[in-house]
Amino acid sequence: MSRNIRQYDAKCVRIIDRWGGVYDGICMFNSVDYNEHEFGRREEALQIENYIFYKRQIKQVVVLEDNSGPYSPFLDAYGQLEEDALSEGMVLTEDILLSEENVHSLRMMNCINAHIDRGELDKLPPRGELVKTLNTLVRYNQDEDIQREGKRLLERLSSIGRM
């Protein structure tokens, strides 16, 4: 891995941590001073949403921006970051759904849809909280694709209640 992780600031990347975890997203570089002030740790890091990857934890970083395909620039509709957030509960799920990065919101909705498709409703946060967050997303996000997908997911969640 490159010693200079600052080069990945504001790029769409895949971070592979030293334990084999694979996390995709648009990352932000955090300096030593920033991390010490905010988190009490004197080490550079890359951050994707609420997930922080300190330099010593990172095995490899791959820039994904040149990839093309159905989930461009990502390789998949969603990934480990979204799965981990969903398993942690509504706080992290909400943070990603309401992200300033629309691509993260879309990937989180893709993850939720996949769980619905597989009938894994027990792995979703409480439906009322999820509906409230999706209503906020649809109301305040200006991107038509995000609004459309949010409405579609709301309809799916509503239809589950009638089954």
Q: Are residues 94 and 120 in the same domain?
A: yes
Identify whether 71 is part of a domain: no
Q: Residue 6 above 60 pLDDT? A: yes
List the domain range (segments joined by +) for residue 154: 80-162
Contact 78, 23 (CB under 8 A): no
Give the other-Cβ count within 10 Å of 65's Cβ. Answer: 10
- The model's pLDDT over 63-99, given as tens digits with 9 standing for 90+, comes to 998 878 788 889 899 999 999 999 999 999 999 999 9
Secondary structure of 1-48 in HEC code, one letter for each residue: CCCCHHHHCCCEEEEEECCCCEEEEECEEECHHHHHHHHCCCCCEEEE
Q: Is the pTM of this model over 0.75?
A: yes
Q: Residue 163 above 70 pLDDT? A: no
Q: Are residues 99 and 150 in the same domain?
A: yes
Contact 88, 55 (CB under 8 A): no
> At which of 63, 93, 111 does a domain end?
63
Query: CATH number for the domain including 47?
Result: 2.30.30.100
Q: Are residues 99 and 153 in the same domain?
A: yes
Identify whether 32 is part of a domain: yes
How many folded domains does the chain comprise? 2
Residues 6+ apart with CB under 8 A from 161: 127
What's the pLDDT at 36? 97
The rounded distance, in Å, linking the Cα atoms of 103 and 109 is 10
- The model's pLDDT over 98-138, given as tens digits with 9 standing for 90+, comes to 999 999 999 999 999 999 999 999 999 999 999 999 999 99
DSSP type of residue 124: S
Identify whether 70 is part of a domain: no
